[in-house]
Chains A and B, each alone.
Chain A
């Protein structure tokens, strides 16, 4: 009697475990780990500057549709997505603004000279403070901001697939 109960219990647990594992194996969409910042307001409280040291009015970020891309010259994935960003700005009417994340000014400008500059301008964020407040965890990340509200947020590389899913509907 005892053994029979035990058998049923063990087998039930085993089947449950196997099915959960199988479900997790066949799961195709990446599980959400770090929360995206979608739905939040774009908060920048301090004065921001571009790579040449010119002050930038906050309005240029909070007015209309703006694509914000966090990049750095030391970041390898940024280099990978760079050609795609260029093709986007060439083919579509996209206002792309960069956030240069924890980078040396010289390295950043020579990176843009070498690989081309798709950005309208890039915000210089040496300490990473501006990005931190935005909820950036590293480079690259891309935000779609419409009238000061974060509509889409991608953590990691942007390619055609990601673009079509997350950003294309708004352009």
Chain B
């Protein structure tokens, strides 16, 4: 347990566990163990079902109890003391609950038992339910043990401090309030998906199991994607660096289960005919294991990064062992059951074959992210020196793979290309190679080639969809068409953003203006304002481009507790480009340093991601009629 030693208190404080909170946690662990035993012995008993409900209820009370301490400013709770203060608005007092390691893990535990409850309510009586329940109870039990012994939020001082040390100002943002819960929900839903896969290995994959598996896989995929989008939007608006993805270790680590999950969801499509069954099972297992790995990397603090929780070796050891146990258990199970997973393998140049290639490319991207993120740990262990893997490693390797991915799924939409014989296929490969050589010969920059290529694919796909809509009055498998279109659009926007965005560092006095890239920006005035928990300097800018004038505000805040300074970026968005101003320092002569950027395609990135999310959602729920 990490304790901030205030010089006056001199750490002579005794720390005691809070009785009520710990009783609730222990009771919940006991219930989980009971669920595990009862689902394996008395299958389908009403008793097991009520145990799941009781467990969920216990954890709700437990979380409610901790939340109450935040609302009442009970700083005798160490966790409350470290993450809240009397000056904090009520909204953030609630979100402070999951702002640090202990609380956020408790939230994850709550979600796990919650999704177990949902799983039971929806699919009660199905033959796979006992094993699914046992698996989830097993996971939940270990999570609770971890919670109680290494990350207990219910520890108290025997003195009552006057005020807390406040919530990290970077986290005082509405987006970051909802981002962690959504992310943990995504992780936890993949645990449910995993439990279904495990059940399938024992009793075989029936039609009913596939239906529920598709639903859970879709929900998990949607949730995790949504979480990543939220984090990205937060990074863009709050961090104020003008970027939306930084290849920061903690971001990358979330990308790992997402990539595996993407491959997993796609491999499920054809699983009805038992094609690629073992492949699908393997991906399902890996996705869940990667969510634990992500928790391990973030919560053990072995990688330093903007978002890292305070590190504690015992946590890392526990989570790593947990990862090891789950990995070995499920892999041994996988290989011992592989006889039962006998599956058909697709024919060459069939849709399914393209899907396998698609999955292989996705896994290659996963490998790149994995290596780039964890390689610094390897050098640290063997050479004692940390090394930085820069964004260029990821972007230069991943961009071509994404283009291949796009090509693969676009070709798949034109079955005629696949029906042709092998000779024309190799002719196609040859012509692609020729085009590459010509491009190389003419020295056209790779990025603009990529941009043209993506634009071409985008228009072809769009045209195809429109023609189909006009002739058939509907689009076959609309969510698939729209989902893939939005991925192409997203890629286009990302490349455009990378290629065209520009920025300027400049010094301005109030009333002055400067011209940059066909726009004129003027610093109109600088005001000082006070808020409840921070003081702020507000700079008002106007941006003139052509005849239009846009106003925007950029702020610099000084938080009253701890004196942390943050910048609130001023952003005006249009569909094509964003105007983006960060306020810097004040100079002696009254001028301010500002960084002015024009970022292209940001809106398109958000729009295409939202379209993608909608397609995922529709694709998931359409067959189930909920």
B313 within 8 A of A: yes
User: Given A3-B335, A11-B331 in contact, is the A25-B317 Cβ separation under 8 Å?
Assistant: yes
Q: Which residues of B contact A54 (CB under 8 A)?
A: none
Chain A 24-80 interface residues, beta-carbon cutoff 8 Å to B = 24-27, 29, 31-33
What DSSP secondary structure best describes chain A's contact surface?
helix
List, sorted by A's number, 20 A–B pairs whose CB atoms are closer than 8 Å: A6-B335, A7-B331, A11-B331, A14-B328, A14-B331, A18-B320, A20-B377, A21-B296, A21-B302, A21-B316, A21-B377, A23-B381, A24-B302, A24-B380, A25-B320, A26-B313, A29-B384, A31-B386, A32-B384, A33-B386
| Contact A20–B378 (Cβ < 8 Å) | yes
Cα(A31)–Cα(B302), bound, Å: 11
| Contact B381–A14 (Cβ < 8 Å) | no
Partner of B380, one of A11, A14, A26, A31: A31
| Contact B381–A27 (Cβ < 8 Å) | yes
| Contact A25–B313 (Cβ < 8 Å) | yes
Partner of B385, one of A10, A20, A31: A31
Q: Which residues of A contact B50 (CB under 8 A)?
A: none
Cα(A22)–Cα(B381), bound, Å: 10
Q: Which residues of B contact A29 (CB under 8 A)?
A: 384
Chain B residue with minimal CB distance to A33? B386
Q: Which residues of A contact B384 (CB under 8 A)?
A: 29, 31-32
Chain B 364-403 interface residues, beta-carbon cutoff 8 Å to A = 374, 377-378, 380-381, 384-386
Chain B residue with minimal CB distance to A22? B320
B497 within 8 A of A: no
Cα(A10)–Cα(B317), bound, Å: 22
User: Given A7-B335, A20-B377, A21-B377 in contact, is the A32-B328 Cβ separation under 8 Å?
Assistant: no
B327 within 8 A of A: yes
| Contact B302–A25 (Cβ < 8 Å) | yes
Q: Which residues of A contact B377 (CB under 8 A)?
A: 20-21, 24
Q: Which residues of A contact B113 (CB under 8 A)?
A: none
Q: Which residues of B contact A22 (CB under 8 A)?
A: 317, 320
B324 within 8 A of A: yes
Partner of B381, one of A3, A11, A24: A24
CB distance from B3 to the nearest CB of A (A): 16
Interface centre among A3, A7, A20, A25 (most CB of B within 10 A): A25
| Contact A25–B316 (Cβ < 8 Å) | yes
CB distance from A61 to the nearest CB of B (A): 29
**How many A residues touch B, CB cutoff 8 Å?**
19
Interface centre among B300, B328, B377 (most CB of A within 10 A): B377
CB distance from B624 to the nearest CB of A (A): 34
Cα(A23)–Cα(B313), bound, Å: 12
Q: Which residues of A contact B121 (CB under 8 A)?
A: none
Cα(A23)–Cα(B384), bound, Å: 11
Cα(A21)–Cα(B385), bound, Å: 15
Chain B residue with minimal CB distance to A32? B385
Q: Which residues of A contact B317 (CB under 8 A)?
A: 22, 25
Chain A 84-127 interface residues, beta-carbon cutoff 8 Å to B = none
Cα(A7)–Cα(B330), bound, Å: 12
Chain A residue with minimal CB distance to B300? A25
B90 within 8 A of A: no
Cα(A9)–Cα(B225), bound, Å: 30
B350 within 8 A of A: no
Q: Which residues of B contact A26 (CB under 8 A)?
A: 313
| Contact A3–B338 (Cβ < 8 Å) | yes
Q: Which residues of A contact B335 (CB under 8 A)?
A: 3, 6-7
| Contact B331–A27 (Cβ < 8 Å) | no
Cα(A20)–Cα(B385), bound, Å: 14
Chain B residue with minimal CB distance to A7? B335
Chain B 274-327 interface residues, beta-carbon cutoff 8 Å to A = 296, 300, 302, 313, 316-317, 320, 323-324, 327
Q: Which residues of B contact A31 (CB under 8 A)?
A: 380, 384-386
Cα(A163)–Cα(B300), bound, Å: 29
Q: Which residues of B contact A21 (CB under 8 A)?
A: 296, 302, 316, 320, 377
Q: Which residues of A contact B300 (CB under 8 A)?
A: 25
Chain B residue with minimal CB distance to A11? B331
Cα(A10)–Cα(B313), bound, Å: 27
Chain A residue with minimal CB distance to B286? A10
| Contact A32–B386 (Cβ < 8 Å) | yes
Chain A residue with minimal CB distance to B303? A24
Chain A residue with minimal CB distance to B378? A20
Q: Which residues of A contact B374 (CB under 8 A)?
A: 20
The 8 A CB mask of B174-192 against A (1 = contact, 0 = none) is: 0000000000000000000
Cα(A20)–Cα(B323), bound, Å: 14
Chain B residue with minimal CB distance to A3? B338
Cα(A6)–Cα(B279), bound, Å: 12
CB distance from B428 to the nearest CB of A (A): 30
CB distance from A122 to the nearest CB of B (A): 22
Cα(A11)–Cα(B324), bound, Å: 11
Cα(A29)–Cα(B313), bound, Å: 13
Chain B residue with minimal CB distance to A34? B386
Interface centre among B378, B381, B385 (most CB of A within 10 A): B381
CB distance from A75 to the nearest CB of B (A): 12
